[in-house]
Chain A
Amino acid sequence: MKVQIDPERCQGHGRCYDLSPDLFTEDDEGYGQVAGDGVVPAGGERAARVAASNCPEKAIVLVEEA
């Protein structure tokens, strides 16, 4: 699984980097950033789903690998 943030939607609420700091960080203006390449390590799927389902702007996209 991979996480992405849609920068058009993200408004910097920061729920993602509050809840799942291993997967997300903030930039200098508080907008969410994907940490590293966004590949979710084994066992991190739950954290990714929690972040995505709490983002008020629905800006987080989960890409399930085939």
Chain B
Amino acid sequence: MTVDDRFVRDFREGQEEPLGTRNEIITGPVSDWATDFSHVEPEWAADPYPIQDDLRGRCPIAHTERFGGGWLPTRYEDVAAIAYDTEHFSSRAIIMSNYRPPRDIAPVGAVPPISSDPPFHHDARKLLLPAFTKKEVAKREEAARAFCHSLIDGFEGAEIVDAARDYAQHIPMRVMADMLGFPPEDGPRFREFVEHALEGVNLPPEQRVANMGELFDYLLEQIRDHVADPRDDLTTYLIDAELYGRKLEPSHVAGTMALLLIAGIDTTWSAIGASLWHLAKTPADRERLVAEPGLLPTAMEEFLRAYAPVTMARLVKDDMHWRGVDMKADDWVLLSFPAANRDPAQFDRADEVIIDREINRHAAFGLGIHRCVGSHLARMELRVALEVWLERVPVFGLADPSTVTWAPGQVRGPRTLSLRIG
């Protein structure tokens, strides 16, 4: 057997800082959402839905000069069309920030497969699919359930708990640490990595680069540990995986690990938190689910529709006229699955949460070729987290609505959620 020397050297050594382009960072209150939108301002984080509903009515493809220029479609029809149209919209960047990676980073991108375009995308995605099927993730259900119980045991008679910090966030952190084969006690570091990648988009570039560096230092440490001591987990799987008859590029291994860590954690944490927030402020729904646990899978889809945590982005490939607007090459498109999910043209009573909604063709996990690879895992975690909570803590409410905080940026969910459980 030959020694795997791909990771002996730091794969970043000798690499130039990717060129790409930077634009001036513009922050501060939005003047008009139709011409100056920003998904990282506090007003959007606190409650984006009225903003989106207003735009859908008066300017369904809104624009901003911030982030070097971008568009925000709010109709389901337009969001779907863009998700399907990989010919005109590229995934080479999927976080709308002040930096555009260079064009030649496509079709692989920094974090395959989410940052990849066809034809490479399909092959990078195919590597991951077998590990994330419904049947495969079902094997983790028992451990996830036991872990949820242990978190609630930890409340130990407290009257007020923070369901986001003390419950929701730990579940996906533990599941992802197990799947990747990272030490479970590293959870708090994952939280930092996630916040840096997703919430720090308006930080100065040097800070962004330093933050990214820390994540990749950590991943390289884990990779080297797995090269020395292979295990039955996703890290070893990616180290051994082959594409086109060769092992993966070191940057592909690390990039996919970064993606799983980031995409797997605060998305699911947000979905669990938003569901508990809804139930805390809606006693009728809470009581009904406690009485009819069989309704939970249906209710869960409604929480995913109404509080879809994930918004993606695309870059326009070439100048074009698109559904009435003039898009320029390298303009951003903020692809709001949450806005699509509340379009009255697609859903009856779109602005209401109806926990027994039977027809629910929502797009919380995306549409088209980038459909969330982790959707079966996320659904399992969300269901188990809510089942255990409702079984152990059937009566709860918001301790103080004014203290609830929501993550800003493209993944939205409660980050502080004080609940009275005593």
Contacts and interface: CB of A to CB of B under 8 A. Distances in A.
A54 B134 contact: no
Nearest to B360: A54
B134 A56 contact: no
B401 interface: no
14 contacts: A12-B371, A13-B365, A13-B371, A13-B375, A18-B297, A18-B379, A30-B132, A30-B133, A30-B376, A50-B359, A56-B362, A57-B367, A57-B368, A58-B361
Interface in B365-422: 365, 367-369, 371, 375-376, 379
Contacts of A50: 358-359
A11 interface: yes
Given A13-B375, A57-B367, A30 B361 contact: no
Given A11-B369, A56-B365, 4 more contacts: A11-B368, A30-B129, A54-B359, A56-B367
Interface of A is mostly: loop
Interface string B129-140: 110111100000
B126 to A, nearest CB: 7
A14 B376 contact: yes
B134 A17 contact: yes
B363 interface: yes
A55 B129 contact: no
A12 B365 CA distance: 11
A29 B133 contact: yes
Contacts of A26: 133-135
Interface of B: 126, 129-130, 132-135, 297, 301, 358-363, 365, 367-369, 371, 375-376, 379
A35 B115 CA distance: 34
A28 B359 CA distance: 27
Q: What 3 pairs across the A-B complex have the smallest Cβ distances?
A: A29-B129, A11-B371, A30-B133
A29 B130 contact: yes
A17 B379 CA distance: 13
Contacts of A28: 130, 133
B135 A54 contact: no
A53 B134 contact: no
B113 to A, nearest CB: 13
Interface string A29-62: 1100000000000000000001001111110000
Nearest to A27: B133
Contacts of B379: 18
A57 B375 CA distance: 14
Contacts of A53: 359, 361
A18 B297 CA distance: 9
Contacts of B361: 53-56, 58
Contacts of A13: 365, 371, 375
Contacts of A56: 361-363, 365, 367, 371
A11 to B, nearest CB: 4
Contacts of B371: 11-13, 56-57
Contacts of A11: 367-369, 371
B378 to A, nearest CB: 11
A45 to B, nearest CB: 15
Most buried by A among B126, B129, B297: B129
A38 to B, nearest CB: 20
B129 A12 contact: yes
A56 B368 CA distance: 9
A14 B132 CA distance: 12
Contact of B126 (A14, A29, A55): A29
A42 B132 CA distance: 33
Interface string A1-29: 00000000001111001100000001011
